[in-house]
Chains A and B, each alone.
Chain A
Amino acid sequence: MALSLAACGKGGSSNTAATTDANGTTTLKMWTHNAGNDKELAAITQVVNDYNGSQSKYKVEIQAFPQDSYNTSVTAAAASKSLPCILDVDGPNVPNWAWAGYLAPLDGMDDQISKFLPSVVGKYNDKNYAVGYYDVALVMEARKSALEASGIRIPTIDSSWTKDEFAAALAAIKATGKWENTLDMQTGNTGEWWPYAYSPFLQSFGGDLINRDDYKSADGVLNGAAAVEWANWFRSLTSDGYMPLKSGADPGQDFLNGKTAILYNGSWGAEAAKASSIADDILFLPSVDLGNGPKIGGGSWQWAVGSGCSAPEGALDYMKFAMQDKYVASVSEASGTIPATDGGAALVKGYETGGEYDIFRQYSKKFAEVRPVTPGYPFIATTFTKTAQDILNGADPQATLDQAVKDIDANQQSNNNFQ
């Protein structure tokens, strides 16, 4: 397996990351995951074109990959030592890639980075390795009419539903018999969605994916009383008949078509909701407070500098140029996400203070919890996904969580705790 990957990498990128031509212009290679996202790619291309036009010392050259194969391509490129100078990386993977030596720290950008939402800054060992234009927020999209019909309190950012209130609300909505799904948490999604969307509930109960003091063990946090409580709660959503065990093919559409009363969704769904015929009946509510305040996932795609770049000062120069407020605004607007700086937010319609999307930014600022900052994260994420799926399918919570802790601890230890 490793061999075929390495072979692909060699075949695919024979050019070095930075080359200088006769005129003294150094070409910097740049990789991005959004080949399938025309709008975002166009916005990024605009940033690059502006940069290339602003000076003649460096020329950035974009290569776009489909998201599905992006991580594999980077891994393969790293194996054959042909990483690009500039690349984007999914937030939770930053520590893994920084530890593996794929990324170089963003030296000299601390002041600029301090203006970004903390959740979009990729850190490892107290150094900044990546920074992103945008974040996304998780919300409860609810039908106002459904809540009002059952006399359910509309929660606010300062006073979200408590666990009991949420349970009562679900019971009341289900009792009306009007909805096919009382709640839809999009359990049909796969991959990173599971840790991104469901570990915040675990954290709200007081548990976590791993002990964040030293990132050595998950014992006590992923299999403690709080975690078991989370598991039972999560399972009860299905076993009590509020939430489908496996969501339909398009939960967003089910919600807009009136099948679902409450949809747990990312802020990326807002645009479709606002454009739908029931736009006036949709509320974007904060997530549930299960004990330790509402929590939502933080961190999305971020930009970083490859460690093998022969012209790192050029790559950093581009990063400084690219992370201006106006580009934060243009990229997040194109991707329908939350601008990561105050200056950027002011430039995007809807995200200005008091704008219709401003609430997402406030949720992010107030509730966002980044996923564990350890190179072991990909392992933790995969293990958590399987654990949560098993729990939803009726596995014994304590035994399943204990097994997950055992696996995670073994992996951290086998890597010498990533010291």
Chain B
Amino acid sequence: MTQTLGAAHPTPPTVGQIEKLSFKQRRYTKAKQSQRLAAAWMVTPAVALLLVFVIIPIVLTFALAFTNAKLISPTGPQFVGIDNFSRLFGDPVFWKSLRNTLIFTIFVVPLQAGLALVLALLINVRIRGVNFFRTVYFLPVVTSMVVISLLWKFMYQPNGLINGFLAVFGIDGPDWLGNPNTALVAVLIMSIWQAVGFHMVIWLSGLQTIPQDMYEAGAIDGASNWQRFRYLTWPALRQTRTFILITITIQAFALFTQIQVMTQGGPLDSTSTIVYQAVRTGFSLQQTGYASALSLVFFVLVLVVSLAQRYLTRDKDVKK
């Protein structure tokens, strides 16, 4: 009997074994469940916010770009096909805005990133009072862009601070914001000054992750200051570099506040940007559909540039 039973059924597990197994299993599933729950809880606010403030507006932009929607109108939007886009590509202001946006980006990205790196290298030293300089450089970043734009607007006036300073050297400064040739340059200089502190901090964090023994090894090999930077610091900053490149590019594309406060796109559209034009079209001119088409073009532009940058930086990865 015992043998048959034993043959028919495999040896039953001991009480201890059962307890151990079920406990393990129980703990495993429970842990997994609560982990999932916690994950859901953690991700919900982010997903909700993204949905409301990013995904839905983007979907709406896509839809509205093909309609004649108006900000104020008794009739609802009607589908008009690619009408908005054909108007857009025939609009001289759009091409000027696009050109200004690109010029701004092309100059801001290397200048701001470069200057920020120089500042970061300067303050990445252990001397007394370095925190003072870190704070000073960072101060513009925590000040509102509107406030800074207003202040610089006064400084850029024909008889303002900047021309007063230039006059000391016998230079007769232009009407910075009133001259189509200098307005964008003026906005550019101010924008770099305002944001450079932020990227300086990012560079600094990158610099401080570089282990000190690398430099010690370099010193033993007799590396000069330039070689130290070129062959040790620069390669070690690769990831920081990618991050800074992409963030500055996107920020530069989205140029708006300075324009709104300082020039309203003028004189003669010399400082009009795509985002400024979209806001002006959508709110002042009440053409929601047309503004959506502009936003859509802007979205595609940023997407393409970001993808290109990602592709370029990944390519280097593979080579290594």
Contact = CB atoms under 8 A, between A and B. Distances in A.
Interface of A: 1-4, 7, 72, 75, 78, 96-97, 99-102, 190, 245-246, 248-249, 378-379, 382-383, 386, 389-390, 393-395, 403, 410-411, 414-415
Interface string B151-163: 0001001000000
Nearest to B279: A1
Given A2-B60, A2-B71, 13 more contacts: A1-B57, A1-B288, A3-B57, A378-B286, A379-B286, A389-B266, A389-B267, A390-B266, A390-B267, A393-B266, A393-B268, A411-B287, A414-B68
A378 B286 CA distance: 8
A48 B316 CA distance: 71
Interface in B260-274: 264-269
Contacts of B175: 245-246
Given A378-B284, A379-B286, A190 B264 contact: yes
Residue among B52, B64, B71, B282 having the largest count of chain A Cβ atoms under 10 Å = B71
A246 B268 contact: no
Contacts of B291: 1
B285 A378 contact: yes
Interface of B: 52-53, 56-57, 60, 64, 68-74, 87, 92, 154, 157, 175, 177-178, 180, 264-269, 280, 282-288, 291-292
Residue among A1, A102, A393, A394 having the largest count of chain B Cβ atoms under 10 Å = A1
Nearest to A180: B159
Given A1-B291, A378-B286, A393-B266, A100 B60 contact: no
Contact of B288 (A2, A99, A414, A415): A2
Residue among B60, B154, B177, B284 having the largest count of chain A Cβ atoms under 10 Å = B284
Given A100-B74, A190-B264, A245-B175, A3 B68 contact: no
A386 B272 CA distance: 12
A391 to B, nearest CB: 10
Nearest to A379: B285
10 contacts: A2-B69, A3-B60, A75-B72, A97-B72, A100-B73, A102-B72, A245-B178, A382-B284, A382-B285, A415-B70
B266 A96 contact: no
Contact of B74 (A3, A101, A190, A389): A101
A403 B269 CA distance: 14
A395 B70 contact: no
B57 A393 contact: no
Contacts of A97: 72
Contact of B267 (A4, A102, A393, A414): A393
A383 B284 CA distance: 9
Given A378-B286, A382-B280, A382-B285, A394 B68 contact: no
B285 A383 contact: yes
Nearest to A74: B72
Nearest to B282: A1
Contacts of B282: 1
Nearest to A403: B92
Given A99-B74, A382-B285, A2 B64 contact: yes
B64 to A, nearest CB: 7
Contacts of A75: 71-72
Contact of B154 (A1, A7, A101, A249): A249
Nearest to B175: A245
Contacts of A414: 68
Closest 9 CB pairs of A and B: A393-B267, A382-B284, A100-B72, A101-B74, A393-B268, A100-B74, A379-B285, A389-B266, A246-B178
Contacts of B177: 246
Contacts of A411: 285, 287
A394 B53 CA distance: 41
Contacts of A101: 74
Contacts of A96: 72
B73 A394 contact: no
B171 to A, nearest CB: 20
Contacts of B269: 390
Contact of B56 (A3, A78, A386, A390): A3
A395 B70 CA distance: 30
Contacts of B266: 386, 389-390, 393
A249 B177 CA distance: 14
A75 B288 CA distance: 13
A245 B267 CA distance: 11
Contacts of B70: 415
A390 B268 contact: yes
A249 B155 CA distance: 12
Contacts of A78: 72
A383 B57 CA distance: 27
A75 B72 CA distance: 7
Nearest to A102: B72
A399 to B, nearest CB: 10
Contacts of A190: 264
Residue among B87, B157, B175, B285 having the largest count of chain A Cβ atoms under 10 Å = B285
B75 to A, nearest CB: 9
Residue among A2, A378, A382, A394 having the largest count of chain B Cβ atoms under 10 Å = A2
A394 B178 CA distance: 11
B39 to A, nearest CB: 28
Contacts of B286: 378-379
Contacts of B264: 190, 389
Contacts of A99: 74
B279 to A, nearest CB: 8
Contacts of B64: 2
A249 B153 CA distance: 10
A102 to B, nearest CB: 8
A394 B288 contact: no
Contacts of B178: 245-246, 393
Given A3-B57, A190-B264, A378-B285, A393 B180 contact: yes
A233 to B, nearest CB: 19
Contacts of B280: 382
Contacts of A389: 264, 266-267
Contacts of B284: 378, 382
A97 B72 CA distance: 8
A411 B286 CA distance: 10
Nearest to B180: A393
Residue among A97, A378, A383, A403 having the largest count of chain B Cβ atoms under 10 Å = A378
Nearest to A1: B282
